[in-house]
Amino acid sequence: MELIKTQIPEVVILKPRVFDDARGYFFESYSQRDLNQLMQRDIQFVQDNESRSARGVMRGLHFQRPPFTQAKLVRCVEGAVLDVAVDIRRGSPTYGHHVAVELTADNHLQFFVPRGFAHGFAVLSETAVFQYKCDNYYAPQADGGISLLDPALGIDWRIDPSTAILSEKDTRHPLLEQFESPFIYGEF
C-alpha cells in the first residue's frame, strides 16, 4: 500500500497494490499492521459503516465531539464520490482548509480523515456504496457538523448545490464563522 500525502499533513490518501489478470482483480483492502506502519502510529478501528446513496446526495460535514471524536478510513466500493475533510482544529495552521479526493470503485483509493476534521461527500455516479472504518463508536449525543454549503470553505463539490439532496439535519449546520470548534490543534 502506498501513502499519498496531501496539503494537510495529517490527511492522507492510501493507494492499495492491485493485482489484475484475466479473472478480474485482487487487492488487500485493509491491513492493521500496514496502516500503523504507514501512519507511524497505532490506529485501532472499532466500527465499520456503509451507506448507499443516489446521484446528487451530499452528506456532511460531520464529526463527533470529544470525548467521542473519531478518525475514519473511507472508501467507495460502488460508483464514485467526492470525499472531503475540513480542518476544524482551533489554532491549526490549516484551520478551515480542506482536502478533496475522488474515490471510486475503480481507483480503489482510501482516504484517512483524522480526529479534529469534519467529513462529508457528494455522490457523482448514479449510485454509490460508501464504506468507512471508525476508531471510536458512534455516540448520537456527540453529533456535530458544519455547513457543507458554506461558500467560505471554497469546496467545489462537482455537483450543483441548488439541486443537491441533503438531509434536514445537514441543512441546519452552522457556517464555519459561526462555529465554536471543540477541537484544539495538537490534542490528537
Write down the catalytic residue from 30, 132, 137, 173: 132
132 catalytic? Reply is yes
d(CA 57, CA 53): 6
Strand segments, DSSP code E, in the chain are: 2-5, 12-15, 19-21, 24-26, 47-54, 58-64, 72-78, 80-87, 89-90, 98-104, 110-113, 117-123, 127-134, 143-145, 183-184
Write down the catalytic residue from 62, 98, 108, 119: 62
95 catalytic? Reply is no
Task: Retrieve residue 37's grid coordinates.
Answer: 506502519
Q: Give the count of beta carbons closer than 10 Å to the beta carbon of residue 138.
A: 13
Task: Retrieve residue 155's grid coordinates.
Answer: 469546496
Active-site positions? 62, 132
